[in-house]
Structure 1
């Protein structure tokens, strides 16, 4: 009995150690140098703010080949946060991968497509007035999802790929703790298992390829219960005094998010099994729209005042900063919902020849009531993420390197806004 007790005690200690969030002393020391009051508040209370940070240092050898060193602050891949729009990144990659697997030369990411309805809750989409062709396409969805985090674009990519394929593909690539269970419209779990019939068409409207409606019979693993807060407003705006249940919602741990972005930017840096089946043209499109500013874009013609350069570049955005430093581009995806705010970025400074990756998530909901739209995004989340970004950026500007990176691969030709009299697009649902 004594030996059994010792064994169980050691197992408990091992489990407890494994359950502790991972923090590296390097980041603790670096963050201690930033005196900003909001930054200090969040850093000193990581549990309250459900804070997780991954900083990836990139070093180049004499042949410009990169090596990556990850540093963690309070990172626990089992700790739930709502991923919100961050899941638009893997959906874009899976949409391109599915097109390539179709192996139909006439059906590309630029081909016009239409969505029909075949089950309760589904909606049609035959036209898209924000695209140059007037029709939806995978390339146009990706552009909208990345530039301003458009929700409809995500839901349509979800419908094209299908719930079963999404989750099986991500799990096969090693993202076992990731799940994508729903569109960004209010539907039941059963309705989200059903996805629409889709067709690709020629410019004259004739059919190229028809995809039938799909259903996902696979079971999800909901054994881990994830409840947050002390209350929430229900669909009737009535207060329910119990935690909000995220158990069946989308889940995308921060290390998986960071690794997905790295697989796009540096495909050879991740195992072949984790890469997505993408063409050189796919990579060019992804890099362009991960970094292009809304105001540089013609279709959709986003209102540049509302959707300014740093609108979805959280590590370079606060109430005073609407533009990025000269020579800097950020390749990233963000998400915000239910008080959670998340960003995973690759930062390239072409002027100073500096690069790094940074991913972070935090939760700002002082009253612990969800769905009341009373979150401290502007007073806490944005200032904190800006200060975090600047802390790492300033460190990188002063860090000594044996070899400065050649960032030519990331210097892309962007669109130039044409003044053609069309009205600008405002108030996108994101």
Structure 2
């Protein structure tokens, strides 16, 4: 790493420590600390040496199989604390996808499933209609298409529409009932007020000929939230009018998704039988298969949406394998994951499979890279610090797993998925600029 970048990275230590509002009692395990210490990369060690400044948290999940191929999971932590806030950004799309499929199953309405066409109306100030989706083969929105877009490139509209379908009240009630009491999802990615976020659009499910199957009226959340834990980050921030405000940005009332909850929800989707029954989502076998496919499928393999692969390359949302010099993914590896990035935070929660070497593990991490301490200025150290750190972290754990001895090698055939193939004869223009 260049001296210039090291200096830039070091500046973050002062700018963040001064405004660290978390009352953290972080958990760190010696095994993970020792594994991470083996990587002598200067940037990697700089971030590890200042976990509070970089708001760094890591969960490494070791997976061991018995003679019947049943997996067991052991989590190892580095600086993990549920009160140590990070903005979850797009990682909230993961539970929204599962909750959307769960709601469809529990509605039990003939002709309404994840592939059914939908149309979104408006019934409250600033709500936006969505009657068609040009990225879909049917030209209509659907839950399936939202999940594809949310996972393939982390599309924001897809999240907003799933939020509107499930509803703010049901999102939080269901997650809390599953044991994720610290998780709070209160916001669409629309810049809405608290009141506007409580109201969600009316929705129609329709047949191919446009006739109605089911109408869901506007929903309103009457439940209250616990905002007693104040979270303020940074030295200054730009507000919605692009005015510089010389005080920290207040994250107290926005989405909150602790890393432990993110890791556990991913595990519950990839390995549903490994978590207590109350934590599982009510999904059909085909739903789990669909989620696993698009958690791991690449934009280059997908026809709908058809993304420009020079912009949305295979490792675009695979932070632990996103090498700045090479955007291709190793052919023997698949990553089932969800990432997020916003306000200088980068987050990734992954289940990683190496079919050639019979290796599997989970890894979740968040890091904050904002050396000037100003939020909403679009000047974050993502390319110079964030992505290089996440790549080094992923490779450190992966290389440890390659060397780790296992009593029983895993049978990973359940994760060998028949992915789509891009149609070489498709002349439609590719999507180059999505809101994500």
Coarse TM-score class (shorter-chain normalised) = over 0.9
* 1:272-351 matches, cutoff 5 A: 272-351=277-356
Aligned equivalents of 1:232 and 1:304: distance in 2? 34
- Divergent runs of 4+, >4 A: none
DSSP 3-state at the match of 1:70:
strand
Counterpart in 1 of 2:197? 192
Task: Select the residue among 429, 432, 435 that pairs with 1:429.
Answer: 435
Match of 2:46 in 1: 41
**1:163 maps to 2:207:** no
CA distance in 2, matches of 1:20, 1:193: 33
d(CA) in 1 for partners of 2:325, 2:90: 24
Match of 2:351, SS state, is strand
Q: Does structure 1 residue 175 correspond to structure 2 residue 171?
A: no
Q: Once the two structures are superposed, what CA deviation does each residue of 1:192-213 show, in whole Å capped at 9, x if it has no partner?
A: 1000100100001111010011
Partner of 1:403: 408
| Whole-angstrom distance in 2 between the partners of 1:84 and 1:385 | 16
Name the SS for the 2:74 alignment partner.
strand
**SS state of the match for residue 426, structure 1?**
coil
Q: Decide which of 244, 249, 256 is 1:251's aligned counterpart.
A: 256
Deviations 1:390-425 (A, max 9, x none): 000001011111111000000001011002110001
What secondary structure sits across from 2:97 in the alignment?
Answer: helix
Question: Please, what TM-score do these two structures have when normalized by structure 2?
Answer: 0.94
User: C-alpha distance in 2, partners of 1:105/1:264?
Assistant: 25
Query: Which runs of no fewer than 5 residues in structure 1 stay unpaired?
Result: 1-17
Which one of 59, 63, 67 corresponds to residue 62 of structure 1? Answer: 67
* Correspondent of 2:268 among 263, 273, 277: 263
Cα distance in 1 for partners of 2:298, 2:222 equals 40
* Deviation of the 1:19 alpha carbon: 4.7
**For 1:332-371, what per-residue CA distance to the aligned partner results, in whole angstroms no more than 9, with x for missing partners?**
0000000000000000111111000000001001111000
State whether residues 370 and 381 of structure 2, in contact with CA within 8 Å, keep that contact through their aligned partners in structure 1. yes
2:18 paired residue number: none
Which residue does the alignment assign to 1:96? 101
CA distance in 1, matches of 2:323, 2:199: 40
CA distance in 2, matches of 1:402, 1:326: 26
2:149 corresponds to which residue?
144
**Kept in 2: contact 1:326–1:351 (CA 8 A):** no
Number of residue pairs matched by the alignment: 413
| Distance (whole Å) between structure 2 residues aligned to residue 261 and residue 321 of structure 1 | 27
Which of 139, 164, 168 is matched with 1:134 structurally? 139
- Cα contact 2:24–2:84 (8 A) shared by 1: no
- SS at 2:162 equivalent: helix
Q: Secondary structure at the match of 2:123?
A: coil
Question: Do residues 206 (structure 1) and 211 (structure 2) align?
Answer: yes
Taking structure 1 as the reference length, the TM-score comes to 0.95
Structure 1 contact 303–424 (Cα < 8 Å) conserved = yes
Q: What's the secondary structure of 1:68's corresponding residue? A: strand
Give the distance between the partners of 2:241 and 2:194, measured in 1 at CA.
Answer: 19
Q: Distance in 2 between matches of 1:186 and 1:385?
A: 29
The residue that corresponds to 2:33 in the other structure is 28
- Partners of 2:27 and 2:173 in 1: how far apart? 28
Name the residue aligned to 1:392: 397
